Amino acid sequence: MLERIGSPRDLRELTYEELTELSAEIRDFLVDNVSRTGGHLGPNLGVVELTLGIHRVFHSPHDSIVFDTGHQAYVHKLLTGRKDFSTLRRRGGLSGYPDRQESVHDIVENSHASTALSWAAGIARGHTLRGETARTTVAVIGDGALTGGMAWEALNSLGASRDRVVVVMNDNGRSYAPTIGGLARKLDGIRTDRRYENFLGWGKRTFENRGPLRSLMYQTVQHGKRALKGLLTDDGVFSDLGLKYIGPIDGHDQRQVERALRQAHEFGEPVIVHVLTEKGRGYSPAEQDVADRFHAVGRIHPETGLPIEPSRFGWTSVFADEILAVAEERPDVVALTAAMLAPVGLQPFADAHPDRVIDVGIAEQHAVTSAAGLAYAGLHPVVAVYATFLNRAFDQVLMDVALHRAGVTFMLDRAGITGDDGPSHNGMWDMALLRHVPGLQLAAPRDEQTLRQAFRDAIEVDDAPTVVRYPKGAVGEPLPALRTVGTIDLLAEHGDAPRVVVIGIGSMAATAVAAAGKLAAEGIDTLAATATWVHPVPEGLAELVSGAELVVTVEDGLTDAGIGQEWAAYARLQGVAATWSHHGVPREFLQHASRAQLVDDLGLDPSAIADDAIARLTRD
């Protein structure tokens, strides 16, 4: 069946029996291919029938289909002609998210959550203003994304409009983990309410009947659905916003899905279709997994779901271990996260001290400002989040934490170049942004021990924000200091009078050591150095570089306005005459590729850095 599908129009000729066969083939395809490459498996297994229904009822790209976060768009890719998943999330292959360069059917590339409804509101209003009133905009949003404030801002706006928008709420009760909060409890009540269960079973049997009474039965069921709607809307969750509501619908019943979508299409104005789905549907290891390990996977054995290569002890694990140890010592330490309890390493802390870990949902702004409130109340909050997602709460860091001199610690996981997840997941903006925040102190540890110490140092600061950033993946070998100059650690010394000083920031410290070794092999006296606390400028910098001809900085953040440039400006003010050379990430979006490939492209490998230094010395 899958071989016959070249575009969405091919779906409209299929019978429901053929669609059932196609759904099974798609699930087999996803398990087989994603197990080879890694990627978001569970979310896509759960939206097979839903995506088929969307493409049968609506006509993409005439009708715009927007996926919130995009990690549930693999089925959409398959149905729009993209069947080569052999290089998924690899250079030259399919992106792990919608990508405008791949297809006219893709619209939103940003994989940050809770944005789809705002996109849809804007697109639909644009169609209205241009007189394109026959075009519908469809936004597919997971229930977890409804914990984000931006989604509710958009719902508020949509409730005041009459534009053609269909909001498909894919309710599987999870984002990375079980969805939390008041809305989650409300939706949970619908899933478990016996009136809904009885109605859904009776309605399904009714619709499967044939005969002259079918029209009457349909009207009867519609009346029952309106009564059931009160389960959700009695307290004004959606109806008081002015939004029509259809549901809840069994998201794995193809007929029900399409019937609801057609009804929504006929409304011609904003409507919510509430669809219940099961994450990981049709794949036993995912269905039986309560820890949601199959939301995103590496390479796995498809039969068992077990990883092919056990992951090494990573940076996240170091933090998870250290905050749990600190929690036993300091009862004032609390933690917050934005719907990523396990991915950022807070699950062990939450298991041991559930009252001291707060998951606010996909709401980074709320997390940061409520952390300021916790600090005011006498606690020391630790906000653990991916580096790329702190961008969403910069104003709160600046105005709610820094302005109020709140002692809040930010632990930025996946900082720097992350690679496979594409431009929106690279955590390369943080240092350039955060160094402009008054009073903020920022650490970039180089190994396990410096991460543990940096965290402990950070939580001792009670009158300013502190930030500790660290990369994705496994922790490298220890890099002990040979000696220190001020608060700067010397990691390697070649010769008594170094002409070149190579400074590596954070995870690039090992690169600095390797580059210094290559320069020494060419007969150039060189030393390699780093500092754990990189902003404000560490003590001893002017002394360290005063006798050098060339100072080289290497960082996995923006070169422009990064840490290297901050240090160079300070050194010049101190009268240091050395030439400076900065290596980092340019001010552009990096397309998906492995971290190693991106490092090579950007000239951040030791050989490229050493060659550039030699060229500069020769030129000077």
| 147 touches 361 (CB < 8 A) | yes
Q: For residue 427, what are the CA distances in angstroms to 80, 317, 423, 431, 571? A: 30, 18, 9, 9, 27
Phi, psi of 210 (to 5 degrees): -120, 150
103 is in an annotated binding site: no
| 246 touches 271 (CB < 8 A) | yes
Beta bridge partners of 381: 334
28 is in an annotated binding site: no
395 is in an annotated binding site: no
| 429 touches 414 (CB < 8 A) | no
Residue 83 annotated in active site? no
What's the burial of 183, exposed, middle or buried (CB within 10 Å: 0-12/13-18/19+)?
A: middle
143 is in an annotated binding site: yes
| 48 touches 281 (CB < 8 A) | yes
Q: How many CB atoms lie within 10 A of CB 579?
A: 15
Options 56, 164, 392, 472, the catalytic residue: 392
| 478 touches 448 (CB < 8 A) | yes
364 is in an annotated binding site: yes
Q: What is the spatial distance between Cα 117 and Cα 150, in angstroms, rounded to a whole number?
A: 8
274 is in an annotated binding site: no
Options 258, 322, 364, 555, the catalytic residue: 364
Residue 392 annotated in active site? yes
Q: What is the spatial distance between Cα 93 and Cα 89, in angstroms, rounded to a whole number?
A: 6
Beta bridge partners of 337: 359
Any idea which residue has 């936004």 for tokens? 139
Q: What is the spatial distance between Cα 79 and Cα 374, in angstroms, rounded to a whole number?
A: 48
Q: For residue 616, what are the CA distances in angstroms to 518, 552, 579, 581? A: 15, 11, 9, 9
Alpha helices (H) in 330-447, listed in sequence order: 347-352, 364-376, 387-390, 394-396, 430-434
Determine the Cα angle at 89 with ends 38 and 101, to 5°.
150
| 461 touches 511 (CB < 8 A) | no
Provide the token pair at 281: 């549907």
Question: In this structure, are strands 579-585 and 533-535 parallel, antiparallel, or unpaired?
Answer: unpaired
Question: In this structure, are strands 380-386 and 333-337 parallel, antiparallel, or unpaired?
Answer: parallel
Any idea which residue has 């070169």 for tokens? 559
Q: What is the spatial distance between Cα 184 and Cα 126, in angstroms, rounded to a whole number?
A: 32
Any idea which residue has 């902003």 for tokens? 535
Whether the bond between 61 and the residue before it is cis, its omega within 30 degrees of 0, is yes
234 is in an annotated binding site: no
Alpha helices (H) in 193-290, listed in sequence order: 194-208, 214-233, 254-267, 284-287
Options 82, 279, 435, 469, the catalytic residue: 279
What's the burial of 557, exposed, middle or buried (CB within 10 Å: 0-12/13-18/19+)?
A: buried
145 is in an annotated binding site: yes
Residues across the chain = 620
Please list, residue by residue across 130-163, b when 16 or more beta carbons sit within 10 angstroms of its beta carbon and e when fewer do: eeeeebbbbbbbbbbbbbbbbbbebbebbeebeb
Residue 279 annotated in active site? yes
- Binding-site sequence positions for thiamine diphosphate: 71, 111-113, 144-145, 172, 283, 364
- Binding-site sequence positions: 71, 111-113, 143-145, 172, 283, 364
- Binding-site sequence positions for Mg(2+): 143, 172
Instruction: Give the residue numbers annotated as catalytic, written as ranges.
Output: 279, 364, 392
